[in-house]
A and B are shown apart, each in its own frame.
Chain A
Amino acid sequence: MTSPAPNNLTMSARHGASPPRTSLSRTSRWRLPTDAFWPFLLPSLIGFLIFTAGPVVAAGVISLLNWNLFSPPTWAGLKNFARLGPDPTFWSALGNTVYFTFVSVPVTIVISLTLALLLNQGLRRIAVFRSLLLLPYATITVAVAFVWIWLYIPHDGLINAVLGLVGINGPAWLIDDNWAMPALIAMSVWKSFGFGMVVFLAGLQAIPQQLYEAAKVDGSSSWQSFRNVTLPMLSPALFFVVVTSIIGSFQVFDQALIMTNGGPGSRTTTLVMYIYRTGFENYDQGYAAAQSLVLFGFIVVITAVQFLLQRRLVHYDN
């Protein structure tokens, strides 16, 4: 029986038996009226064109306008894009977003991978640990952001109290110029490591044990097995998690809005927060649309670079 789904979906026996198809050629499909696809396609297509594809095109148009929503728009040409160059807030938001992304993604991935390897050591209660470790991923960001503000209370907050036990005088975290971003990053890592962990765990469990046995026969140490068997076999999963994590991190918003509101100063103002403020606090829709397209441009470039690297670094098993 051919597997009907990519994911070991078990089929009921009723459907499992191959139906007779000896008398049936591959080409004898339904004879359909040519417009039979419309009822299937139309509900999705109408909504998609109006609410997804249309707005993408409209974003391009709005970025070329001066528009505050209340008065009629005027043509701005590329002026909104030209405004980005001398705008210090934009550059600091970009810098903050890059800082956030390039610290939080590697840290998250190392933690996810370590925990996946730990859980894959033949534990009997693996599903229980997996669920509990995935819990932060399934909480509301706004709600847990409050708890993290509480954990970060300067002087006697839980985190600084624990640091005090080992003689470290903890910083004021969210209101400290240099520690606000690391504090946001730590919260974000906590919130999201479960995703990668689950992907890696599934990837690890799909590696055939024969490969490890063969490596053992060849005299591999456990580090060599990890380097030569686990990492190559896991590389597609790693690639996927890196790409999606970077895209997600570039769009960080919720925790920064709740925990620091972009502060202190603009130390934690992210690109999406700046887009939100430009569009919905300053009502400068044209400029906000231009910023959002630049954000998209960054994501496209970073993703394209990763796909180029993928050819050299990712091992596909087929």
Chain B
Amino acid sequence: MTTEATTEAMTKPGAPTHKLIVFACFLVTAVTLIPVVMMVLVAFQSDAESMAARPSFWPSSWHPENLTRAFDLVPLGRYLINTVIFAGGTTLLETVTAAFAAYAFARLNFPGRNWLFGIYLATLMIPSQVTLIPQFVLVAKLHGIDTWPGMILPHAFTALGVFLLRQFFLGIPRDYEEAARLDGANRWQAFTRVIVPLAIPAIATLAVFKFIGQWNNLLWPLVISNSDATRTAAVGLQVFQDTNGTQWNLLLMAATITTVPLIVLFFLTQRWFVRGITMSGLGGR
């Protein structure tokens, strides 16, 4: 937005319409953030205030001890650690295996390659509810209910990672690997030293997306974990609601505690997050 032509088509800073647009943006953003702000405000209200028949919006007194009280009611710390293990485990496994497989699909010739990739692609369209029942049966038969392998493995091998990374690898000119080959590199070295460094943005994008998606996953942990040993934050919140339903300040404190790490992660990684959204949106054509 530096060229004259660009700014000319848009409104000029200082013009009345420009002020109106800035005002509209502020207004929309403020309204959008109300639920998040209210979540934090109510979390610090006193028991009586948060459960009064007439809800109050701004806390008349602040109760930071709600933080420790929420942790005392349910093991939120345990749930957060579990969430990191679940989301981190699926993300790590999917990203690494997908990167290798995507390289095979993008660069290596083997019999049935396109056929096999077609099968990967076909599963992309299938909603996760279709595989939910068979995956649950499989995990149950292997005595994997409430274990980490049972939680993580069924969600670590989706076709999405292979698909996204293959598309990205195909865009990397073969000349770079040819140059590495002239320098005496083998396939393995070409992959780890040429392709992977070039693909870091794509790999990071996939990892951030997968991690945030799994942090949010409710249905799978809901059916597989049935104790605090593997219960994730999303499921833990549901349990919290069942047991402390109307205790608004503590309920929303628990919601705040489980959401804040994700929001921090979002702000730290949003460069990749935004790129991931636009990549999936515009790279797909």
In this complex, which of B12, B21, B35, B157 has the most chain A Cβ atoms within 10 angstroms of its Cβ?
A: B35
Residues in B with CB closer than 8 Å to A236 are 282, 285
A62 with B134, Cβ < 8 A, contacts A136-B36, A140-B262, A144-B39 known: yes
Which positions in B face A, CB cutoff 8 Å?
1, 3, 5-7, 9-13, 18, 21-22, 24-25, 28-29, 32-36, 38-39, 42, 53-55, 57, 93, 96-98, 100-101, 103-105, 108-110, 116, 119-120, 123, 125-138, 140, 153-159, 162, 167-168, 171-173, 175-176, 178-179, 181-182, 186-187, 191, 198, 201-202, 212, 215-216, 218-219, 222-223, 233-234, 237-238, 241, 248, 251-252, 254-256, 258-259, 262-263, 266-267, 270, 273-275, 277-285
Please determine whether A122 and B13 come into contact, CB atoms closer than 8 angstroms. yes
Contact pattern, A 47-61, Cβ under 8 Å of B = 1, otherwise 0 = 110111111101100
How far, in Å, is A247 (CB) from chain B's closest CB? 7
A158 with B55, Cβ < 8 A, contacts A139-B263, A292-B133 known: yes
| A279: Cβ under 8 A from any B Cβ | yes
| A257: Cβ under 8 A from any B Cβ | yes
How far, in Å, is B127 (CB) from chain A's closest CB? 5
Please determine whether A140 and B234 come into contact, CB atoms closer than 8 angstroms. yes
Residues in A with CB closer than 8 Å to B157 are 44, 47-48, 50-52
Residues in A with CB closer than 8 Å to B123 are 48, 52-53, 56
Report Cα–Cα, A132/B34, bound state, in Å.
11
Residues in B with CB closer than 8 Å to A166 are none
Contact pattern, A 11-28, Cβ under 8 Å of B = 1, otherwise 0 = 100010011110010000
Residues of A113-142 at the interface with B, using a CB-CB cut-off of 8 Å, are 115, 118-124, 129-136, 138-142
Q: Is the interface of A mostly helix, strand, loop or mixed?
A: helix
Please determine whether A55 and B171 come into contact, CB atoms closer than 8 angstroms. no
Please determine whether A143 and B278 come into contact, CB atoms closer than 8 angstroms. no
Residues of A244-287 at the interface with B, using a CB-CB cut-off of 8 Å, are 244, 247, 250-251, 253-254, 257-258, 272, 275-276, 279-280, 285
A295 with B129, Cβ < 8 A, contacts A7-B278, A40-B108, A146-B251 known: yes
Report Cα–Cα, A292/B132, bound state, in Å.
9
How far, in Å, is A73 (CB) from chain B's closest CB? 10
A202 with B35, Cβ < 8 A, contacts A40-B108, A257-B218 known: no
A198 with B278, Cβ < 8 A, contacts A122-B11, A158-B55, A292-B133 known: yes
Report Cα–Cα, A52/B123, bound state, in Å.
8
Please determine whether B133 and A296 come into contact, CB atoms closer than 8 angstroms. no
Residues in B with CB closer than 8 Å to A30 are 181, 186-187
Please determine whether A15 and B198 come into contact, CB atoms closer than 8 angstroms. yes
In this complex, which of A44, A118, A122, A129 has the most chain B Cβ atoms within 10 angstroms of its Cβ?
A: A44
Interface contacts (Cβ under 8 Å), in number, total: 334
Please determine whether B282 and A202 come into contact, CB atoms closer than 8 angstroms. yes
Please determine whether B6 and A251 come into contact, CB atoms closer than 8 angstroms. no
Q: How large is the interface on A (under 10, 10 to 19, 20 to 34, 35 or more residues)?
A: 35 or more
A209 with B6, Cβ < 8 A, contacts A138-B266, A144-B35, A151-B38 known: yes
Please determine whether B55 and A150 come into contact, CB atoms closer than 8 angstroms. yes
| A2: Cβ under 8 A from any B Cβ | yes
Residue of B nearest to A316 (CB): B285
Please determine whether B176 and A131 come into contact, CB atoms closer than 8 angstroms. no
| A103: Cβ under 8 A from any B Cβ | no
Q: Which of B101, B134, B173 contacts A44 (CB 8 A)?
A: B101
In this complex, which of A37, A140, A156 has the most chain B Cβ atoms within 10 angstroms of its Cβ?
A: A140
Residue of A nearest to B190 (CB): A30
Report Cα–Cα, A286/B269, bound state, in Å.
42
| A293: Cβ under 8 A from any B Cβ | yes
Residues in B with CB closer than 8 Å to A140 are 215-216, 233-234, 237, 255, 258-259, 262
Please determine whether A55 and B241 come into contact, CB atoms closer than 8 angstroms. no
